[in-house]
Every structure is written in structure tokens, then in C-alpha cells.
Structure 1
């Protein structure tokens, strides 16, 4: 394989220089013919010599390197001497002025060919520099908006293949997977180990991995070497950026997790302590003063214990539900449920609300059937109604209204109180939002109720929203899709 490549290179070299030689002979022949014609026409030999000079410059323009120009100059001198100086058809020079003319012509032709060759070389260098600069710009721009480790690596491999023409592979230090140029694999690398050129991919702080250039048959040109190293350098920068971003995200997630844990522990320890203190206090009072308490007082203390216990159960249930939601383990078991039954179940959990004169329910006369998880929807209604009850005063009227809107059933809980504070409106359905003056899990609670409501409704492909009414008060809406039975 290696000898075949060398043979092809040698063959191309010979063909190129054969073409240059043919051009040299052809141009010198034309110059000679024109010069002889001018001489026969009576035009001086000095003008004929200019034709040879133009021929030398033409040879230099149509070939590469000053060698062919120099050969053309020497050959033109010999042809001029042989065909146009006395004695003709010999290489003898009889007149000193012809000798001086030939010497100055040779010097002029050599200088002209040399300068033309240098100009060609500088032009070629400028073109190569322009091409290299354009390639480097395209490489830099190509990596600009690439994200993801695999996409970055594949982009670098494609650049190597497109701009340099080599097979390559990339191996990151922290991964087992090796990325190859399409069409090769690990076996190909094994069979070409001696033609392998490894380049480390170095980040800012450490070495990220290695790129291997495969199948290098001949010494690599400086231009290709620069392009390859630029691609590797740009890849290292972008991978470094990706690693830094991933680390930052991990730190951010860890900090957020710690913040949530701290907030949860603080809220739980604070808010659960209040009902537990009430339960313990009422229990101790009954035990210590049982003989001195009348039946009405005992009933009141037992009722307080029950109310505080129910509140504790709800809080623990909310915490458990939020844990399942955060872990993606919220299970929705849908069945056909009548809206009236859902409302009745929710109200049985809230005797303190239904017994008050400030609560009103409006349901449609028609039976509305929805495909939902009944337990979870009841929990949503209980949380929203409980918020409305806890965060409004005794004069505030609370209303639960149910109606159809297109292909949705709408549960609407509203009041005529102070409404929701604008400072927490945007974060109302986030976890741990508490505010003692508004309709949100606040004075008692860990601020999870509305966040759980949103997760449950989203799992049902529904929508939950909250807003303030123009004439005062807050309004919560839950939209659930109605499916055909």
C-alpha cells in the first residue's frame, strides 16, 4: 500500500515536469520561428532578441520554478546564436557586439525569470495563506454553536476528513467509547499502528482525550499539520466549555437540591410542631384535669385533637405526594368519574368549610363524566378550597362553580377577599411558596399544596391557573378535558 502511494506520487511528479518540458520546447520553437521570420523581413536582430526574451517570460509564466526560465534563457541564447548570428548555423560568434548582446540578453532573461518565479511563489503563498485562513475561520465558526460531547467530537472528525483527507479517531479519558471516521473501526487502527499520529486534546486544566490521525503515508505538510492542530485546539476549547457547563449544572442542581431539603426540613419542623404541640397540650389537659372538666370541654379538646391530626395527615400526604412527583413516580389511575361525586368526596373532607355560611356550590344540572384519577382530583379540590378557607377572613364568601367550556369541564374556586399578592403571582405554583396574607399555602403548611395540584392536573393533560378578579378577590380555575365514553 505504501509503495503504491509513493509510485503514484512519483508518476504525478514525472507527468507534471514532462508537461513543463513540452511547454518549454514549444515556446522556444515558436520564438525561434518568429525571430527567423523577422530576420528574413529585414528587421534587426536586436528586435528578434526581444522575441526570445518574451518567450523566456512566457516559459516562466507557464511553468513553476526558476529552473525552466533559466533553461529557456540559455536555450534562447543558443538558438539565437545558431540561427541569427554570423556565421549562421554555427555556435561561433564573430562580432564582439553580438557577444555583448547575447551576454546582456542572458543576464536579463535570468533576472526576469527569477523575478517572475519569485512573484509566482509569493502569489501561491498568498493563495495558500488565504485558503488556510478561510479554513481556520470555517473551523472556528463550525464549532461555535455545537453542543453535546458527541456532536463536538463528530464535528471535529468530519473537519479532519473534509479539510485534510485523513481518517481519525477520538478517545476521551473519561469515556470508554471511541469515535471513528465513518468507514473505519478498531481493527483498522490495529492494522495501521505504524502510520498513526496521536495528538493530545488538552483543556484548560487537564488533558481531555486523544485524537489519532490514521494512514499517514507521507510526511505531513506544515499546512495540514496546522489545520489538524487547529481543529484539535478548537475541539478542546468547546469540550472544555461543555465540561464546565455540565459541572456548573451539576453544582446548581446539587445546590438547589440542598436548598429544597433545607427548606423542607425547616418548614416541616416548624409547621408540624404547631399541631403536635396542640395535640400534646390538649391530651395532657384531658389526662390531668379529666375529673374537673365537663363533657362539653372534653368534646372541644377532643375535636381540636382530631382537627390537628387531620391537618397533620394532609401535610404528610402532601409531602409524600411531592416526593413521588419529584422522583417521577406519580401514578395516575384513570376511571370514569361523575363530577358531582368528586365534589361530594372533596366536601366530606372539609366539614369546617361546609358547615360555615360563607361557602356556596354551583353545579350543572346535567351529569358530567370525566376520565380522571378520582383520589388525585379530590386532593386538588381539597387543597384549593382549604387555601381559600385558611387565607380569607370570616366575612369572605367562597364559591365553587362547575361548568362546561367546549371540550373541558371547569372547576372554579373564587372569593371576594383581598386577592393574591402580585409579588408571588408568578411563583404561585412552585414548591415552598408561603405567604400569610394570600390564597396560597401559607400560615400553616409547607407550601406544597398548589405545586402538587399543578403536577396532578398536568398529568391529566389539564390546566390550572390563578388570577385576581377586577372587583376584588382571587379565582382559581382547573380545566380537565372531557373524553368520549
Structure 2
């Protein structure tokens, strides 16, 4: 029997599709059905290969597999034997349409890229390859409690429920348990009892039916409803987490896993912390959001968090230990019912076989470990308060003052020691010491006064309560300090990131903060054009080179994180052999960088992980803002360039039309009616053509020079020149109308040298002189002079024309700007000449200015570097 279910959601086009051939036990024919289906796909024309087939496949299954191309597997040695794993590199290089991989739930051995085979398959799916695989249904994580009841133990090879639920297609391969037993016996294989096989079959059919029902509903989860599951360091929390996950799937709502950290947890063993991390990983694997709160009143913390988070149901475990008959205090569940009467509370009995360990934990949970240092501190404090009481007693002080001193001592013991046992013991010893040293008869434990027993009882209760309250205040103060420290770090990181100006600076600030928080080496990878740049190292020990973090293996892990947008490296299931834990700096699917935190033999707890993710989130937002800012600036530059291009085209279309029309008109007249014109008219027409052509040539030269300077493609060819020769050469190329003006050049007996690109500076002088000729009436005077000023030579061009208005002076060197005046020819100025002059002078490290020339006119002054005489021996 076989039935199929479609996926819960459409898989994105770039992802491959996963098809699972599931059954309730080995031997039902999953691999055969997978190969048979793949054969039909291959005959339809698709490229189908086998990535890995189980080594214990049956003969007829192997015969069917021989029809397919089989990719070489990766052979890894462990405990003296060689195991075969999926060769991911070969599969990704081959890139078939469909690949067959047996045993989805398999755990890879050390040395493989991933710890789990389903992670190998996920990478193939992301590459766009369809995958067929097989699965025994009892390897699904949420079914482990039921499977444990059937088999009497847990199964190590497991897959998360999401892999099964999100598969594009699931086909359940089913046969009767009796036929399966006969088949296994014929093959000399171990057969389980029919009762177990029937139970497994029922579990498998029910799980597939639940998936089929979820597929038919196709409704999004009710995110406004939340189920809150309470976790602890007890191994039995796994059962509670799975039960809560099943409820969340059934009700289609969110799941929150809450851990209440008490002061006793801080003094717990490393095994407790590791077990807590295992429980947290299981909760995350089943889709839960993990949260941690602090406080000794566990019931109050759970009820308050449920109220604030809007949880509708609470799932909690109940121990099977028998409570005390006398002086029984309300249990955690009873207090929770009292504090949260409006919530549904689901109680999961902790009757798992592993609860023997849990019971030991519960016993140790209320007895804090006592260190020798705490005992020494307690003894020292009791001795000191006894001596102080002796001094008070010697000077005639009342017994009430001595009692107050002992109460102070008990309070100090609670503050300076970790264990509550010290506080309790200190209270008892304080009463006995007061009785021994300060009551009659002294130096005995007897008391003659009838009211002393009441005094001792009240003193003991007061000291015990005072000590307990002091210890609780100390714990709250410690928690508050931790929260304040974390808040300060996040606030400081946020402020520093806001001040950063570049992506490299943002990554540097983030890595520095992480190094400060975790006291570990940090590796930061920046991303440029979709690829990783060389890593930047932030080492705790400056004497180290950090070459171990620059190895090809480490960079391969960082590259995998970039490609898959998931954490990898030490402490994870992906490439666990790395020296660092690598995480992507991301917002959604956009990755801006990769950060590596050195493992150094330590694992991060849930609080450290939350701080790390918060800081990386802040970094990602800062990088996204910086990226948006750079894109905005690039868009502004592009808009400016577009505006420049539009202005250029507009100017060309308007200003070039007149000289081109004049050239074509004069040339046409000369060609058609040349004989009708006298010699003087012809010469005037030739001169007009020449003038218009030279204007166009100068315009094109200016345009080319401006474009080269603006794009940074004009390289200066500096040489030492005499300024006299440069000016003389420039005057030979100025406008031919200069004969109508009076040009005066400064003459001096001294030789003035300049360090310039002569060709460009000649262009500057030509443009400024031509500008004076253009905007001054004929007969005006134009004076050219220069003077050395320190390391520069100031060159000036002065005219006595109409001058430049003060309002136009700030923009006179802007491109495409022309000051309005009375000269009719100004309409043919595109405003490029002076802009080009400014660019050339600035490229030489000088400045150009314009000022008034009294009584009238303008003076253009520009500075260029002075040259020195080179002496050759």
C-alpha cells in the first residue's frame, strides 16, 4: 500500500524538490520504490544519478541500481573501519537533474562537511538539484517519546520535523507486518516482534495522515496565539518540548521555550549547562523561539512572561517525586495555577526512564554547593562579630546590641558567600555563640532565664530571614548588573555604528565589540561584488600572527556561510571542524559580511548567543544603511551627470547652430556665387569661416579637456619651464581679434621658473586672454603679468572692460555659466573655458580667482607651483 501527500508550500523555483519514500521499518521496499520511480523519470529524459545507496541494500535493489550512474562516495575512516558518505563536491560539480540518496536520517561521521545527511541534502536542494531519499518514520524528532515507549530507548539518528513536513512529496511504502517478518527471516535479518511493528506502523500512518491534513488546510500559523513551554536542565525536558511542539503543530500556532535562570543555576555543574544547551537546540530545531528570564520565583516569572507574551497555553513538566507530608509548601504547578488562572496549563508527567538523573538534579537543585572558601569566610565573619560583641559586652552594652551585631554578621555571610547553606549554618552558630559567650551561665550552652528560649528562637528566625533577603537582593543586584552591562554594550555598539562612515569601519567596530564581550579572537570578512575579501583579524594576543584563521579550510567555511546564509563552523552541525563559529551579517536574504568567533574550547550559552545575534543585527542594519547611502550618492552623481549631459546637449544644440549655419552659408555662397563677390567680400567671408571653425575647434578641445579632468584620466606631465616662454607661446595662439586690443606683457630681467604641464597652462592663459578679448570692447588694454609668492607663482590677466558683477563672481568658474553683459558675442559662449581653467589650476595644486580692476575691468589671477634650477654635476 502506498499513498502520497503534496508539500505544504510551493518550493521556490531556484530550489530543488525533495521526495521522501518513507516506511515504518527497514525491509518494506523503500529503496526499491525510490529506484523504480527514478527509472521512470530517467526514461522520460531527465539526468538521474545515484549519490549514495545503503550498503545493506538487497540483491534485487542493487540490480535495479546498476541501471543508473553512481557517483563516487567520500570514504572516511572511523574506529578502524571505513564508512561511505555523500560526496557533496562531486554532486555539486556533476549537477544532475535528480540525485538518489539513501537514508535521510543518517548521522555523518567526523570529517564530513555536515553532521547530518539531511543537511547534505539541503545544500543539494539549494543548488537546484531534485533529491529522492528514504526514511524510516520513527527517526522523526517529535515521535521520539512514542518510539522510546515502543523500543524501550531513544534513537540517535533523527531529523527535524520541518524536513519531513516541507518536502515536496512524501510516499509511504507499506506492507503488512507479518509479510515484513517473513521477508526479514528469508534474508536472515533480525525481525522485531509483531506488536512493535504494528505500533510503529500505526505511528507512521498517523504521522503521514497528520501531514496530509496539514497540506489540505494550507492555512498560515496563528501567530497571535502562542504556546509557552517551560524548559530546564533536566533531560526529561526533551519529552516536554516534543509534546509542546506537537501541540503547536496541531493548533497551528507559535511556540516559545522559556528558561527561568535562578541563582542555583549559576553555581551548577558544566553537565547541567551542556544539558540545557541540548534542550535549547532541540526546541530551536522544533521551531521554538527560546527566551531566558531571571528570578528565584519560577512560577511568578513564568506567569508574568506568559502574560506579556500573550501565550494562550503553558506546557510544563511534573515530577513523580512524592512531596513532604508535613510543612508542605505549594508546588510549582499549584502556584502557577494560582498566578495564571486564565491560562490553559498542560502538565506532562516526567515518568521517563531518564528521570532518575532528573530526580538527582531536583535534589541537588535546592542544596547549593558549599566551597571551602565560603566556609572560611563564614567562620571569619562569626569570629569577628563575636570579638565585636565581646567589646560591646565589656563596656556594659545591652544584650540587644550584641544580638544586632550577630544579625549583621549573618547578613554579611549571605552577602559574601554563594551558598544558602552558609547563611543557614551561620544563623544557627550565631544563636549558639550568643548563648555560649553572653548568657548566664557563660561559656556553657545552658540559660537560666526563662525568656531566653524565646529570645534564641526570635534571633534565629530574624537572622535566617535577614540572611535570605540579603542573598536574594544580592542575586537580583547581580542580574540587574548583567542586564545593565548587556544593555550598555548594545547601546555603545549602536552609537559607534551610527558614527561609522564606511563598511570597513562598521565591520571593524562590530568585531572590536565582539572581541571585548567574548574575550575571543574575531575574524571579519567584508563582501565586495558578491565575493569575500581577505579576512581582517582581531586577535586577543597581538604577538600572534593569526595564520590559523587565514587557512584555506577556514575561508571555505566562511564561503559556505556566504553561499548558504546559515551559521557554520565550531559548535554547529555544518563543517564543525573549523576553529571558529562563522555567522552571516544579514538582513533577510541579503548578506553583507561574515563574522567568525574563535571557539577556544568554549561554547556560548543562550544569553551570549542572543547578544551576538543582536550585535550582528545592528551591524547588518548599519551596513544596509551605509549601502543605501552609497547607492543614494551614486544616484545623485548619476543625476548630476545626466543634468550635465543635458546641459551640454542643450548648449551644443543652441550654440553650435549659429557657427555651423554661418560656415555652411558662407561656403555655399562662395561655391555658388563666388564670381559675383569682390576680393574684399571674399576675404571677409573666408575670415568668418575661419573664425567660426576655430571657435568650434577650441570648443571641442575644451570639452575633451574637461571630460578628461572630471573623470581623472588626464595625467599631468610636469616639467620646469620659464614663465616668459609659456606666456609667449600662449599669445601666439590667442584669438586673431587680439590685434584690435592693446596687449602688455610684464618684462623682467629675472628668470621665473614654474613646475607645470606646459601644454595645459598654455590652454589656461589662452582661455583667460580670449575671455578678456571677448567681453571687452575693441581698443581695451589687456595686461599679463606674474610674480613669485613663496612656493607659487601668481599669474594675472587684467582688462579694463565692463567688468563682472559681484553677483556673478561666485559662479564665474562654474561649467555652462556665462555672465550677462552688453557684448553681443557673449551668446556664443558655452561657459566651458573658465571652468576648464579652474580644473587645470586645481590639478596643479593652485587656485584661480577673479577680482575688480580699478577703475574698471576685471583681474583673473591663478597660482602655479614655482620651479627650481636643477644643478647637474
Structure 1 position 278, deviation (Å) = 0.7
The one-character-per-residue Cα deviations of 1:338-390 (angstroms, maximum 9, x if unpaired) are 5454444333334633321x323133142645344443333222211211122
Asked if 1:260 corresponds to 2:651, the answer is: no
1:322 match:
706
What is the distance in 1 between the residues matched to 2:635 and 2:432? Answer: 83
The corresponding residue for 2:294 is none
Match 2:862 to one of 450, 457, 478? 478
Say if 2:420 is the partner of 1:66.
yes
Q: 2:771 aligns with which of 376, 382, 387?
A: 387
Q: Secondary structure at the match of 2:375?
A: helix
Larger radius of gyration: 1
- Residue 597 of structure 2 is matched in structure 1 by 213
Task: Note if 1:56 corresponds to 2:410.
Answer: yes
Q: Does 1:185 align with 2:549?
A: yes
Contact 1:334–1:373 (CA under 8 A) maintained in structure 2: yes
Which deviates further from its counterpart, 278-287 or 31-40?
31-40
Moved more, 35-44 or 323-332: 35-44
Contact kept, 8 Å, 2:738 with 2:773, in 1: the verdict is no
| 1:238 corresponding residue in structure 2 | 622
Contact 2:493 / 2:509 at 8 angstroms: preserved in 1?
Answer: no
Secondary structure, counterpart of 2:523 in structure 1? strand
Q: SS where residue 466 of structure 1 aligns?
A: strand
Which string of whole-angstrom CA distances, capped at 9 and with x for unpartnered residues, describes residues 115-158 of structure 1? 22223223333444444444444333433422221122112111
Deviation at 1:292, TM superposition (A): 2.0
User: Distance between the aligned counterparts of 1:193 and 1:230, measured in 2?
Assistant: 20
1:433 and 2:817 correspond: yes
Could you report, residue by residue, the CA deviation over 1:144-192 in whole angstroms, capped at 9, with x for unpaired residues? 4222211221121111112331333344554412444324614595796
Greater shift, 82-91 or 23-32, is seen at 82-91
1:142 aligns to what? 496
Q: Which range moved further: 296-305 or 58-67? A: 58-67
Where does residue 169 of structure 1 map in the other structure?
523
> Residue 108 of structure 1: which of 448, 452, 462 is its match?
462
Deviations for 1:180-239, whole angstroms, at most 9, x for unmatched residues?
Answer: 4324614595796226655553449955344343316245263x4454344324323332
Q: Write the mapping of 1:390-401 to structure 2, written as runs, cut at 5 A.
A: 390-394=774-778, 397-401=780-784
Distance across 2 between alignment mates of 1:120 and 1:282: 101
Maintained 8 Å contact 2:735/2:770: no
Query: Counterpart in 1 of 2:565?
Result: none
In structure 1, what is the equivalent of residue 52 of structure 2?
none
In 2: Cα distance, 1:480 partner to 1:34 partner: 88
Aligned to 2:612: 228
* Pair 1:125 & 2:489 matched: no
Distance 1:334 1:111, change over 3 A: closer
Q: Which has the higher strand share?
A: 2
Which residue number corresponds to residue 732 of structure 2?
A: 348
Contact in 2 for aligned 1:420/1:438 (Cα 8 Å):
no
Indicate conservation of the 8 Å contact 1:410/1:480, yes or no. Answer: yes
Contact 1:339 1:367 in 2 (8 A): no
Count of matched residue pairs? 473
1:81-130 CA-to-partner distances (Å, cap 9, x unmatched) read 78899999999999985554443333222212112222322333344444
Q: CA deviation at 1:270?
A: 2.4
Q: 1:444 to 1:106 in 2, by over 3 A?
A: same
In the alignment, the residues of structure 2 paired with residue 16 and residue 464 of structure 1 have an alpha-carbon distance, to the nearest angstrom, of 82
Contact 1:462/1:480 (8 A) holds in 2: yes
Q: CA deviation at 1:52?
A: 4.9
1:160 alignment partner in structure 2: 514
Deviation for aligned residue 1:247: 1.0
TM-score, length of structure 1 as denominator length: 0.81
- What CA deviation, in whole Å up to 9, does each residue of 1:422-450 have, x standing for no partner? 33312222322223428999521332111
Quote the residue 1:359 is aligned against.
742
1:35–1:51 Cα contact (<8 Å) kept: yes
Which residue of structure 1 aligns with residue 337 of structure 2? none
Distance 1:362 1:36, change over 3 A: closer
Q: Write the distance in 1 (CA, Å) between the matches of 2:629 and 2:709.
A: 27
Contact in 1 for aligned 2:381/2:412 (Cα 8 Å): yes
**Aligned partners of 1:391 and 1:440 also within 8 Å:** no
Q: Is the 8 A contact 1:78 1:91 kept in 2?
A: yes
407-416 vs 95-104, which deviates more? 95-104
**CA–CA separation in structure 1 for the residues paired with 2:392 and 2:681:** 140
Structure 1 residues 344 and 86, CA gap change in structure 2 (3 angstroms): closer
Unaligned regions of 5+ residues in structure 1, if any?
none
1:402 corresponds in structure 2 to 785
Q: How far apart are the structure 1 equivalents of 2:429 and 2:531?
A: 66
Cα distance change, pair 476–142 in 1 and its aligned pair in 2 (3 A):
same
Bigger proportion of residues as helix: 1
Question: Which of 312, 319, 322 is 2:696 aligned to?
Answer: 312
Match of 1:283 among 667, 672, 683: 667
CA distance in 2, matches of 1:118, 1:127: 14
- For residue 79 of structure 1, report the CA deviation from its aligned partner: 6.1
Alignment of 1:87-102 (within 5 A): 99-102=453-456
Q: Distance in 1 between matches of 2:383 and 2:519?
A: 42
C-alpha separation in 2, matches of 1:29 and 1:459:
84
User: Larger relative contact order (C-alpha < 8 A, sep ≥ 6)?
Assistant: 1
Task: State the 1:277 CA deviation.
Answer: 0.8
Structure 2: runs of 5+ lacking an equivalent = 1-268, 274-367, 540-545, 558-567, 573-579
Say which SS state the counterpart of residue 810 (structure 2) adopts. coil
- CA 1:438/1:329 → structure 2, altered by over 3 Å: closer, same or farther? farther
Query: Which has the larger displacement, 308-317 or 27-36?
Result: 27-36
**Aligned partners of 2:789, 2:385: CA distance in 1, in Å?**
95
The secondary structure found in structure 2 opposite 1:437 is coil
CA displacement at 1:244 relative to structure 2: 1.9
Q: What is the alpha-carbon distance in structure 1 between the residues aligned to residue 646 and residue 391 of structure 2?
A: 104
* 1:464 lines up with 2:853 in the alignment: no
